[in-house]
């Protein structure tokens, strides 16, 4: 009897992994969600990344610490391989606290506006800039004014995010060009500096930073964001007193590029090791908060997706990678380098999933790919509806995975509820205490589930 019992135990241990492959897809997703919600590590990982390391601006010591932390974290989880990809990144520093002040108002005297410098901006130096203000509702409005009305002034871009868009990302996309390109457009007409209404959903006193891009051959002028409440006050004041002057002072500067890294953890495929499915987020963040939502959440969800599949004993056919991209915020160098090396090394990427919309409740996935890929994604929707995830197939991928598109990779964006995101985005308010553990874990589970389905069935007609 003892021998029979021993043989039974041995047979059970040999056959138990096979149970996974006999499970239905519904059972497999249940295993993934149960493991994530019961034994999840994403919240714990994000706590360390946010609170022990903090804001991780490219080129900073904190960004370097985040590289080493994520490397060690993935090694400790026992992934088949963990490696670094070298990438040179910009090194912009904010410097001393910015000052934006309305001076000599007949009604209000002198008063401060809540402000922060935009990423990549030049500073004003110790003397600052003083000039009259011209308010515009975006770049097209500025161009219509012409040089004679702009030269020697500070341009105030005050276009609001459109509140009628249910997707706050659509509202953001409709207003953000003034932040990205406004400085060069204004400089081309002789402006001395720009201030930009923050890209925010609500009226509050928190300024939102974000990158700007200077046009080659155009003078670089200082650019700052002011909070939405400050923008409302400035606009109201200008209507009462059109000749108001503004004083701005900032001390930011761009230093020489710095060596940094993408960090990649991989579970090798059983039969198609040279074909890849990747999940990723960007390891860098702005310096104002601790980057918990943007994009610490995406990084830990990506690591967690691999951990969960490994923990439940799933053996993928394709190689699966968690990619921590460096420098999404003010250069996209990591995403570009990853795609460059993928092409050079002749790596075939079936699909790339990016989480960069915060750690909120998952709603679904967006997609950039063929009609066949969209049909496949929509075919899986019923499996996710049990978990309240239903919004599939709208267009969209992600900034870091975007460069893979030319190689035929299907791009997929993790889509959480977006309503609160632009209260926090690029601000001092993007902190770990705004993360909900369960929402974060549900997002990680949904990403792991999608990786499983792509690995099993392929996408875009490819398997």
Q: What is the pLDDT of residue 8?
A: 39
Tell me what pLDDT residue 2 has.
43
Tell me what pLDDT residue 106 has: 83
User: Digits of tens for pLDDT over the chain (463 positions)?
Assistant: 444 434 333 444 334 333 343 469 999 999 999 999 999 999 999 999 999 999 999 999 999 999 999 999 999 999 999 999 999 999 999 999 999 999 988 888 899 999 999 999 999 999 999 999 999 999 999 999 999 999 999 999 999 999 999 999 999 999 999 999 999 999 999 999 999 999 999 999 999 999 999 999 999 999 999 999 999 999 999 999 999 999 999 999 999 999 999 999 999 999 999 999 999 999 999 999 999 999 999 999 999 999 999 999 999 999 999 999 999 999 999 999 999 999 999 999 999 999 999 999 999 999 999 999 999 999 999 999 999 999 999 999 999 999 999 999 999 999 999 999 999 999 999 999 999 999 999 999 999 999 999 999 999 876 6
Q: Please write down the HEC assignment for all residues of the chain.
A: CHHHHHHHHHHHHHHCCHHHHHCCHHHHHHHHHHHHHHHCCHHHHHHHHHHHHCCCCCCCHHHHHHHHHHHHHHHHCCCCEEEEEEEEEEEEECCCCCEEEEEEECCCEEEEECEEECECCCCCCCCCEEEEEEEECCHHHHHHHCHHHHCCCEEEECCCCCCCCCCHHHHHHCCCHHHHHHHHHHHCCCCCEEEEECCCCCCCCCCCCCECCCCCCCCCCCEEEECHHHHHHHHHHHHHCCCCEEEEECCCEEEEEEEEEEEEEEECCCCEEEEEEEEEEECCCCCCCCCHHHHHHHHHHHHHHHHHHHHCCCCCCEEEEEEEECCCCCCCHHHHHHHHHHHHCCCEEEEEEECCCCCCCEEEEEEECCHHHHHHHHHCHHHHHCCCCCEEEEECCCCCCHHHHHHCCEEEEEEECCCCHHHHCCCCCCCHHHCCHHHHHHHHHHHHHHHHHHHHHCECCEC
In the chain the domains, ranked by start, together with CATH numbers, are 20-91+256-457 (3.40.630.10), 95-251 (3.50.30.30)
pTM, to two decimals: 0.93
């Amino acid at each position: 009897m003892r021998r029979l019992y021993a043989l039974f135990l041995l047979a059970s241990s040999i056959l138990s992994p096979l149970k996974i492959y006999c499970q239905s897809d519904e059972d497999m997703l249940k295993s993934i969600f149960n493991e994530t919600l019961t034994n999840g590590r994403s919240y714990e990982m994000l706590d360390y990344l946010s609170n022990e390391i903090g804001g991780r601006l490219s080129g900073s010591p904190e960004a370097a610490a985040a590289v080493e932390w994520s490397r060690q974290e993935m090694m400790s989880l026992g992934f088949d391989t963990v490696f670094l990809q070298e990438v040179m990144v910009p090194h912009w520093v904010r410097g001393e606290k910015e000052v934006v002040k309305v001076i000599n108002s007949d009604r209000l005297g002198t008063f401060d506006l809540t402000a922060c410098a935009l990423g990549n901006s030049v500073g004003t130096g110790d003397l600052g800039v003083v000039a009259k203000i011209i308010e515009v509702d975006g770049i097209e409005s500025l161009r219509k004014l012409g040089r004679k009305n702009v030269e020697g002034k500070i341009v105030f871009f005050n276009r609001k995010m459109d509140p009628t868009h249910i997707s706050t990302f659509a509202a953001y996309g409709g207003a953000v060009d003034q932040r990205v390109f406004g400085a060069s457009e204004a400089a081309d007409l002789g402006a001395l500096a720009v201030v930009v209404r923050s890209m925010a959903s609500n009226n509050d006193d928190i300024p939102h930073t974000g990158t700007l891009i200077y046009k080659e051959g155009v003078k670089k002028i200082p650019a700052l964001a002011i909070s939405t409440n400050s923008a409302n006050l400035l606009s109201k004041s200008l209507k009462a007193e059109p000749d108001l002057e503004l004083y701005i002072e900032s001390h930011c500067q761009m230093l020489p590029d710095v060596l940094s890294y993408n960090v990649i953890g991989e579970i090798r495929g059983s039969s198609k090791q040279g074909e890849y499915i990747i999940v990723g987020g960007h390891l860098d963040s702005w310096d104002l908060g601790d980057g918990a939502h943007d994009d610490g959440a995406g990084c830990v969800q990506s690591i967690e997706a691999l951990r969960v599949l490994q923990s439940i004993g799933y053996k993928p056919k394709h190689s699966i990678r968690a990619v921590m991209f460096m420098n999404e915020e003010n250069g996209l160098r990591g995403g570009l380098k990853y795609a460059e090396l993928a092409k050079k090394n002749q790596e075939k990427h079936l699909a790339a999933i990016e989480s960069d919309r915060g750690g909120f409740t998952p709603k679904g996935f967006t997609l950039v790919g063929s009609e066949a890929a969209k049909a496949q994604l929509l075919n899986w929707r019923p499996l996710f509806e049990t978990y309240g995830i239903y919004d599939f197939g709208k267009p969209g991928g992600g900034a870091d995975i975007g460069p893979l598109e030319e190689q035929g990779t299907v791009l997929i964006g993790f889509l959480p509820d977006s309503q609160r995101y632009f209260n926090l985005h690029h601000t001092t308010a993007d902190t770990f205490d705004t993360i909900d553990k369960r929402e974060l874990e549900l997002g990680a589970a949904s990403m792991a589930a999608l990786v499983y389905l792509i690995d099993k069935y392929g996408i875009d007609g490819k398997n």
